[in-house]
Amino acid sequence: MTTSEDKAFPGWRGTTILCVRKGDKLALAGDGQVSIGNTVMKSTARKVRPIAGGKVVAGFAGATADAFALFERLEGKLETYPDQLARACVELAKDWRTDRYLRRLEAMLIVADKTETYILTGAGDVLEPEHGVAAIGSGGNFALSAARALLDYEDDPEVIARKAMKVAAEICVFSNENLTVETL
């Protein structure tokens, strides 16, 4: 049975993006699975990438073309507000919420630089995560829980991210273990 939520956001189920910050290090990881309904269309997609000349890393959940449009807009905001990730994110969120074209984009983003991490949504949210961990996508809550549990036992955020993503991939059928990991 299809719910109204399934019709409104048909592709939002299929990914896991996780950001872990510990000390002065950061890891942003994304799985590689692209699913349409119950079919795996690709297993090696790259949903995490550096932007702004490598000063910022970003990952997305949702429609790929929509996410790339948002990445381009974010890079433009970062050119306007260099080294001001929070301001660039707020300006993008305002545009995303009010612009007729952008409002239709179905994606969520995690963006981070050396000192800040944010989750951005089309509802105008610019959220700074607690405990240095953020996650989005269908496997996001699994990865988030695993990463939070590992924070006290691991020092390296990349190790935490890889282990937590493995847990998420074992639980969420819309995520896999083909990871892309970017670090700062």
For the chain, what are the domain ranges?
A: 14-176
Instruction: Please list the residues that pair with 110 across neighbouring strands.
Output: 59, 119
pLDDT at 11 over 50: no
Judge whether 35 and 174 are in contact, CB under 8 Å.
yes
Judge whether 161 and 20 are in contact, CB under 8 Å.
yes
Instruction: Please list the residues that pair with 27 across neighbouring strands.
Output: 20, 183
Give the phi and the psi of residue 54 in degrees, each rounded to 5. Answer: 85, 0
The pLDDT score that the predictor gives to residue 7 is 47
Judge whether 32 and 174 are in contact, CB under 8 Å.
no
User: In which band, very low, low, confident or very high, does the pLDDT at 38 lie, cut at 50, 70 and 90?
Assistant: confident
112: tokens are: 């981070």
The pLDDT score that the predictor gives to residue 72 is 94
Q: Compute the distance between CA of residue 55 and CA of residue 153 in angstroms, rounded to an integer.
A: 28
The pLDDT score that the predictor gives to residue 102 is 82
Q: What percent of the chain has pLDDT over 70?
A: 93
The residue ranking higher by pLDDT, 11 or 43, is 43
The pLDDT score that the predictor gives to residue 13 is 54
Judge whether 20 and 75 are in contact, CB under 8 Å.
no
Q: Compute the distance between CA of residue 120 and CA of residue 60 in angstroms, rounded to an integer.
A: 10
Active-site residues: which are they? 15
The residue ranking higher by pLDDT, 31 or 123, is 31
Determine how many CB atoms are found less than 10 A away from the CB of residue 141.
15
DSSP state of 54: G
pLDDT at 1 over 70: no
Predicted TM-score (pTM) of the model is 0.92
Nearest to 115 by CA among 95, 88, 86, 87: 86
The answer to whether domain 14-176 has CATH 2.30.130.10 is no
Query: Please, what is the average pLDDT of the chain?
Result: 91
